[in-house]
Amino acid sequence: MRWQRLLVLALAGLLVVLQYRLWWGQGGTRSVASLEHQVQQQTRDNGGLRQRNAALKAEVEDLKSGEAAVEERARSELGMIKPGETFYRVVEPESPAHAQGEAADPAAQAP
């Protein structure tokens, strides 16, 4: 009878130790869930970086293949013009509401 009681206590202790390792120990369910979350986050990050790399690769190929891309970039980013061209800058006139600032907006005035 005494050895049966000791066996039951030993098995119960073993069950407690195994349950602890399963739920909170290294490689347990919490650490697995955390790692799965990290994998999902990294997968999303990799997808964004893959799209960015594809766009950069297309831009590099476009720049290598012809003058049109280089010319368009020089015009837009550097403000360059071709010889013989005349540069015109069109400036829109300010509207009366913009000229007076915040006071022109009746909703902006305090009661």
Residue 24 binned pLDDT confidence (cut-offs 50, 70, 90): confident
Read off the pLDDT of residues 96-105 as tens digits, 9 standing for 90 and up.
766 555 554 5
Pair of tokens at residue 63:
């720049």
Read off the pLDDT of residues 37-79 as tens digits, 9 standing for 90 and up.
999 999 999 999 999 999 999 888 877 887 777 787 787 788 7
Pair of tokens at residue 18:
């195994």
Q: How far apart are CA 76 and CA 87, in angstroms?
A: 13
pTM (2 decimals)?
Answer: 0.42
Tell me the average pLDDT across 84-100: 77
Cβ neighbours of residue 109 closer than 8 Å, sequence gap 6 or more: 103
CA 18 and chain centroid, separation: 40
